[in-house]
């Protein structure tokens, strides 16, 4: 039996430290599921593990892509599953860690099977969005798939504010002539491993203090210079990310530097709240306070084998 010890939780909660401790204890590797740590040009702003941390245990999918490469969650799913199969040859226990819920789900569960959509439909939706904005996408989904729209409204309203996700829903509806929801749950994705899912959490004020402190450290480590080097490519999808967007506004003369830093903190706190909302829906996850003794967590894991 193969096992994937999966560590989830909001940003700055201590997932990296726990993953390294577990990798050392079980003699295994770490597969990262952080959708921004893939990119080698984005080190400081994505809180890539330090050189010492990367040397403490073998890591995969960290700074292995360029912001100029097209890389989807589907690409990651296939590459991560291939890597896990390779790692299972050496050890039937491996570790999955990261704060990107969609990417964690891709590895653990996979996605429903959607048909290919004609590129012209995608192009038209993008063009209409540029002119009409997010309201257009929301109205389209409400008309084309009212059932799914109501589900999102009641269970996951922040998704209705995500242009990329909304474009995808609408393009599937228009490209197939069927509701997006009609494709959900049709495909059974078999996995050759059993997940053991650990969630890390803290009181809200503690979590927010940790985030604020991390942003201060990022600025000390040179986030401003990193963002300035990336500024000429600010339109790239990979750079539509908290920690960079706010500094791009500063470079554009829209804000002061102090205001931009406070915005990074505020937006990161909001992001952490959304992460928790997503992860708290994870089935079969067991949650631990971020200060729980690692030996207790290891003891709990051993009881699952």
Domain ranges of the chain: 3-111+189-302, 119-183
What is the per-residue pLDDT for 188?
65
Q: Is 146 annotated as a binding residue?
A: no
The residues, ordered by sequence, that sit 6+ positions from 155 with a Cβ below 8 Å of its Cβ are none
Range 156-190 burial, b when 16+ CB lie within 10 A, else e: eeeebebeebbbbbbbbbbbbeebbbebeeeeeee
Nearest to 6 by CA among 288, 193, 191, 197: 197
- Reading the chain (305 residues) residue by residue, the pLDDT tens digits are 999 999 999 999 999 999 999 999 999 999 999 999 999 999 999 999 999 999 999 999 999 999 999 888 888 999 999 999 999 999 999 999 989 998 999 999 987 777 788 888 989 999 999 999 999 999 999 999 999 999 999 888 888 998 989 999 999 999 999 999 998 877 667 899 999 999 999 999 999 999 999 999 999 999 999 999 999 999 998 898 999 999 999 999 999 999 999 999 999 999 999 999 999 999 999 999 999 999 999 999 999 99
Alpha carbon distance 298, 265 (integer Å): 32
Q: Is 56 annotated as a binding residue?
A: no
Q: Is 12 annotated as a binding residue?
A: yes
**CATH top-level class of 119-183:** mainly alpha
Alpha carbon distance 296, 293 (integer Å): 5
Strands 194-201 and 285-289: parallel
The residues, ordered by sequence, that sit 6+ positions from 136 with a Cβ below 8 Å of its Cβ are 128, 129
- Domain 3-111+189-302 in CATH 1.10.1660.10? The answer is no
What is the per-residue pLDDT for 280?
93
Q: Is 13 annotated as a binding residue?
A: yes
Alpha helix segments (H runs only) across the chain: 15-26, 51-56, 73-88, 101-108, 119-132, 134-144, 146-155, 163-176, 204-221, 223-230, 245-251, 257-279, 294-302
The residues, ordered by sequence, that sit 6+ positions from 31 with a Cβ below 8 Å of its Cβ are 60, 61, 80, 83, 84, 87, 94, 95, 96, 97, 107
Q: Is 16 annotated as a binding residue?
A: yes
pTM for the whole thing? 0.81
Q: Is 9 annotated as a binding residue?
A: yes
Q: Is 11 annotated as a binding residue?
A: yes
């Amino acid at each position: 039996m193969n096992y994937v010890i999966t560590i989830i939780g909001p940003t700055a909660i201590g997932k990296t430290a726990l993953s390294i401790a577990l990798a050392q204890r079980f003699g295994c590797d770490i597969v990262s599921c952080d959708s921004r740590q893939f990119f080698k040009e984005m080190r400081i702003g994505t809180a890539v593990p330090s050189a010492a941390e990367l040397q403490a245990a073998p890591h995969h999918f960290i700074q292995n892509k360029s912001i100029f490469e097209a890389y989807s969650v589907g690409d990651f799913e296939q590459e991560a599953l291939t890597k896990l199969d390779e790692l299972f040859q050496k050890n039937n226990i491996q570790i999955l860690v990261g704060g990107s819920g969609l990417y964690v789900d891709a590895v653990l569960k996979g996605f429903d099977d959607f048909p290919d959509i004609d590129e012209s439909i995608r192009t038209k939706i993008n063009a209409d969005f540029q002119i009409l904005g997010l309201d257009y996408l929301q109205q389209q989904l409400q008309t084309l798939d009212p059932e799914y729209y109501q589900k999102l409204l009641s269970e996951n309203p922040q998704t209705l504010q995500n242009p990329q996700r909304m474009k995808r829903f609408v393009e599937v509806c228009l490209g197939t002539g069927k509701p997006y929801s009609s494709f959900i749950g049709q495909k059974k994705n078999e996995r050759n491993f059993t997940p053991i899912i650990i969630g890390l959490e803290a009181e809200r004020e503690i979590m927010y203090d940790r985030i604020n402190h991390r942003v201060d450290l990022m600025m000390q480590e040179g986030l401003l210079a990193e963002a300035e080097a990336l500024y000429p490519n600010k339109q790239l999808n990979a750079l539509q990310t908290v920690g960079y967007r706010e500094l791009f506004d500063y470079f554009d003369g829209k804000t002061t530097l102090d205001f931009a830093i406070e915005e990074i903190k505020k937006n990161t706190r909001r992001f952490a709240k959304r992460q928790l909302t997503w992860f708290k829906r994870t089935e079969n996850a067991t949650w631990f306070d971020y200060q729980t003794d690692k030996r207790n967590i290891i003891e709990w894991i051993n009881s699952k084998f």
